[in-house]
Amino acid sequence: MPDFADLGQGALRLVAPARPESIDLVHDLVAQLARTEDPPDPHDLMRFEMAVIEVIGNIVEHAVSTDPPEVTPRRFQLILDSTPAALEARFCDDGQPAEVDLESVTMPDPADAAEGGRGLALAMAAVDEVTYHRTEGINCWRLVCARS
């Protein structure tokens, strides 16, 4: 079952299975930021939501493609933090390494009309900072969208 928590001071937490159905929960969590005491500019929130959804899409896709179907699906934790300076998202999950090298991510050439491979490039274009690292068996993603 998904688990929501309002951590106070503009921070929200969601823990949910890494399944496609959980993506709507992430949209809902981001939308909650608009109802906090210091709501972000709608354009900033839009950029932030785009990046957050691309990263959860990557986590879910990776979980679906690498985890055997009979095991209990891995869970991810997402913490959203809204400060006067920025919107920040921190994801972690205990699944297989994401095998991501963000330095090699580029936007596909539109002339190629590729149907995939734009997710992380879009996330990186939408917000100011996207980082990934793996620590002690945990995949950690951090996104920062500076307030305009």
- Contact positions toward other proteins, by CB under 8 A? 20-21, 23-24, 27, 43, 46-47, 49-50, 53-54, 57, 60-61, 107-110, 113-116, 118-119, 121-122, 125-126
Nearer to other proteins, 37 or 66 (CB): 66
Distance CA 148, CA 112 (A): 34
99: left (phi over 0), alpha (psi -120 to 50) or beta: left
Taking the least distance from each CB to other proteins, the nearer of 83 and 106 is 106
**Shorter beta-carbon distance to other proteins: residue 11 or 121:** 121
Answer whether 16's CB lies under 8 Å from 25's CB. Answer: yes
Q: How far is the CB of 15 from other proteins (least distance, A)?
A: 20
Which amino acid would we find at residue 31?
A: A
User: Looking at beta carbons only, is 68 or 110 nearer to other proteins?
Assistant: 110
**β-strand partners of 92:** 77, 140
In the bound complex, what is the minimum distance in angstroms from residue 126's beta carbon to other proteins? Answer: 6
Question: Closest distance between other proteins and the C-beta of residue 45, in Å?
Answer: 10
For residue 58, the minimal CB distance to other proteins (Å) is 10
Give all strands of the β-sheet with 138-146 in edge-to-edge order: 3-8, 11-17, 75-82, 86-93, 138-146, 129-135
